Amino acid sequence: MKVIQKTKIAAVIAAAGVAIGLGTAVSAQPREPAGGEHRGMRGGFPGLGQLGLSDDQRQEVRRIMELHKAERQAIGQRLREARRAQSDAVMTVPVDESAVRARSAELAKVETKAAVLRARVHAEVYNVLTPEQQEKAKALRAEREARGVDRREQWKHERQDHSAKP
């Protein structure tokens, strides 16, 4: 029973990591224009629309995103396949621990490649920004992280309140 529980915990942790990674990968995909923004301007760099980019900066960000589009799509496909393979291994009865480990290791490799790609794209976009915009981007990120901490605390309290009720 302990092996199954450990396997489930490992799968949940891996899935959470994938969800975080995919959230960034999905945000890197071009979106429909919204609120007057140019297509794809928000992709891969949260808060980009709040930085007051010049037309030249917008064009450069679009170029960067287009340059990495095929790579982002390929990584996204590999992530989906690796997650599916891991999920299939986790759901196999009887448990094949070596298969779960192998699929989890494969998923970790793909997640690492996705993280490196996100980091490269982020750095390229970041370098397009002026020093003032870079500082504002850092402040926006800190605000997002603080909101995330607040939300997690709120959810934690809600779960505790719910479990305390008879």
pLDDT, tens digit, 9 for 90 and up, residues 1-39? 566 666 556 555 655 554 555 454 444 444 433 333 333
Give 133's Cβ-side CA count (13 Å radius).
17
Q: Which helix (H) or strand (E) holds 17?
A: helix 2-27
The pLDDT tens digits of the residues spanning 104-139 come to 999 999 999 999 999 999 999 999 999 999 999 999
Confidence of residue 41 (pLDDT cuts 50, 70, 90): very low
- Global pTM value: 0.63
Average pLDDT, the chain: 81
Tokens 């490992």 — which residue?
10
- Using only the alpha carbons of the chain, give its radius of gyration: 20
Q: Which helix (H) or strand (E) holds 44?
A: none
pLDDT of residue 40: 32
The pLDDT tens digits of the residues spanning 132-153 come to 999 999 999 899 999 988 888 8
Rounded to whole angstroms, the Cα distance separating 141 from 144 reads 5
2-20 exposure pattern, b = at least 16 Cβ within 10 A, e = fewer: eeeeebeebbeebbeebee
